[in-house]
Amino acid sequence: MSIIMGECCILTLEPLPKVITFDCYGTLVQWHHAMRQAARVILDRHMWASASHDRVVALADRVRSIAMEHQQQRPFRGYQTVLQSSLNRALSEAGYVASAEDFQTLLATLGKIDPHPEVPDVLARLRERYRIAIISNTGDDLIAGTVSAIGTPVDFVITAEQAQAYKPDHQLFLHAYATMGISKDETIHVGMGQFTDLKVCQELGIRCVWIDREDESLDSAWQPDAVMKDLSGLSDLLLPG
């Protein structure tokens, strides 16, 4: 059995995976930067002044947290609907009334997010041996520009829109495996989200690598098989020898 040591845990490559699956926002692309960029433009417009860094971060984080709440509700709502209602509520809590222009700013910013610097080369190396897939809590139209911006071809892009379910609902992962024609034992998942990704991997028994870009405290209930600060060493981890 081939055992590869990550930063703090142990990942086995047996059985050898056929597909490496990735969360997209945050893991592959600069999601936090994009959210804060949009929040700054929106706040500056409402304040008629330059918003402080703390206010920008607070609004971006609040939109994200409300969106995660909405994603757990039934019936399923498309991601753009979730984003709009989340932005409206977050701005209302901050004392502002959201406008159509605010929502368009958010969509335009999130419609094409740049990858983290190391990502294209790492994915290119991994594609020499594995197929590459994205499993993401988004819609097909919104993610298309971001996937294109990564630059490296992605074999499968599986979205919440396709599965009609958001992570951590198991249905999104199960739909992804059915679409790709593989089992969970033929994959390794790479993700940044604890609640959205590590929780599912723990519950379904999926091998996973946690990308801890934000120096978070790890929930002991959702232990990954390896931990990395970014994707720089991922090809060495998954391409031994």
Average pLDDT over residues 41-67: 93
At residue 47, does pLDDT exceed 50?
Answer: yes
CATH class of 31-110: mainly alpha
Q: What is the chain's mean pLDDT, rounded?
A: 93
pLDDT at 14: 87
Q: Which residue has the higher pLDDT, 182 or 220?
A: 182
pLDDT at 49: 78
pTM of structure: 0.92
Task: Tell me the pLDDT tens digit for each residue of 81-106.
Answer: 999 999 999 999 999 999 999 999 99
Task: Tell me the pLDDT tens digit for each residue of 170-192.
Answer: 999 999 999 999 999 999 999 99
- Candidates 3.30.200.20, 3.40.50.1000, 3.40.630.10, 2.60.120.10; correct CATH number of 3-30+113-238? 3.40.50.1000
pLDDT at 88: 97
**CATH 3.40.50.1000 domain residues, the chain:** 3-30+113-238
Considering the chain, what percentage of its residues have pLDDT values greater than 70?
96
At residue 8, does pLDDT exceed 60?
Answer: no
pLDDT at 4: 42
**CATH 1.10.150 domain residues, the chain:** 31-110
Average pLDDT over residues 190-211: 96
At residue 1, does pLDDT exceed 70?
Answer: no
**What band does 38 get if pLDDT is binned at 50, 70 and 90?**
very high
**What band does 109 get if pLDDT is binned at 50, 70 and 90?**
very high
The DSSP secondary structure of the chain, one letter per residue, reads --EEE-SSSEEE--SPPSEEEE--BTTTB-HHHHHHHHHHHHHHHHHTSPPPHHHHHHHHHHHHHHHHHHHTSSS---HHHHHHHHHHHHHHHTT----HHHHHHHHHHHTS-PBPTTHHHHHHHHTTTSEEEEEESS-HHHHHHHHHHH-S--SEEEEHHHHT--TTSHHHHHHHHHHHT--GGGEEEEES-IIIIIHHHHHHT--EEEE-TT-PPPPTTS--SEEESSSTTHHHHHS--
pLDDT at 5: 43
